[in-house]
Amino acid sequence: MDAAPRHADRAIHEEDFLETDPEFAEYSTRFAFDEVPAHGSLDPHLTWLVRLAALVACQTHRQYSLTLTAALDDGVSPVEAKELLYQAVAYLGMAKVVEFLQLTNAELLRRGVQLPLPPQSTTTLQTRFEKGWDAQFAIIGERLRSLHDDAPADEVHLQRWLTENCFGDHYTRGGIDLQTRELLTFVLLVAQGGCDPQVASHVAGNVRLGNGRAVLIDTLSQLVPWIGYPRMLNGLRAVDEIAPAQAP
């Protein structure tokens, strides 16, 4: 992959610390904006979405705003930016996402984008369970049946919500395809930390949808400057367990 272009988020990072912390400005800029983006074969467009998802999960509002501006300038669509946030609600909770939605709306309005954007929902109250089941089944397979059939009586509603809301309301939307949504879910879980069982489950889901070991390793590599090494290593452990490297 060629070295990343010099976007405004890079320039502002350099300017922030050039006078007070010049050494930090030099090596952190080089690593985050040159060395890491130049590694691997992850599509540059997808890399923007991965980075934005990680910044939301890490709750870094200013860096998110800077990165969003650069991502929109480089071709990420308003629909993609908004759909990423809608997807994040299911994995971070609404309280952690709404401020990012407000920041995104402000940036889109500044650019003259008319809001609301065209609807992306593909379900109704009558179809959200069925379509959610299809999406969830594509990710976790036959285990879905036992999750519903074997759920204790006081947990049945939670399994229903997972199918109807997490998958039916979110994964079935337009703007971002199912395979990309599942990769972004992996990023959201790794970046927020403390979700190791769910990370492992969604490593398996990504592999099932075609995001194999190489894609997951490249994705984790892009996360390092933004989430740090411990959370990256937790994600790497799940990848090594579920999709181990092939012997030479």
Q: How far apart are the first and last CA of the chain?
A: 24
DSSP structural state of residue 3: P
Q: Which of 65, 66, 71 is nearest to 29 (CA)?
A: 66
Transcribe 212-247 into DSSP letters: -HHHHHHHHHHHHHHH-HHHHHHHHHHHHHHSPPPP
| Amino acid 6: pLDDT | 62
Q: How many angstroms separate the Cα of 237 from the Cα of each of 50, 227, 234, 240?
A: 19, 16, 5, 5
DSSP structural state of residue 194: S
Q: Do 98 and 41 form a contact (C-beta atoms < 8 A)?
A: no
Any residues with CB less than 8 A from the CB of 216 and at least 6 apart, and which?
186, 203, 206, 207, 235, 239, 243
Cα separation, 8 vs 203, in Å, equals 33
The tokens 């006078």 sit on which residue?
A: 19
Cα separation, 85 vs 90, in Å, equals 9
Q: Do 101 and 34 form a contact (C-beta atoms < 8 A)?
A: no
Residue 81 CB neighbour total at 10 angstroms: 24
Cα separation, 144 vs 129, in Å, equals 13
| Amino acid 5: pLDDT | 52
The residues of the chain scoring below 50 in pLDDT are 1-4
| Amino acid 118: pLDDT | 98
| Amino acid 8: pLDDT | 78
Length of the chain: 248
Transcribe 39-93 into DSSP letters: SS---HHHHHHHHHHHHHHTT-HHHHHHHHHHHHHTT--HHHHHHHHHHHHHHH-
Which pair of structure tokens corresponds to residue 161? 């919500």
Which pair of structure tokens corresponds to residue 99? 């401020």
Transcribe 89-131 into DSSP letters: HHHH-HHHHHHHHHHHHHHHHHTT--SSPPP-----TTTHHHH
The dihedral sign for the CA sequence 116, 121, 126, 132: negative
Residue type, 43: D
| Amino acid 246: pLDDT | 87
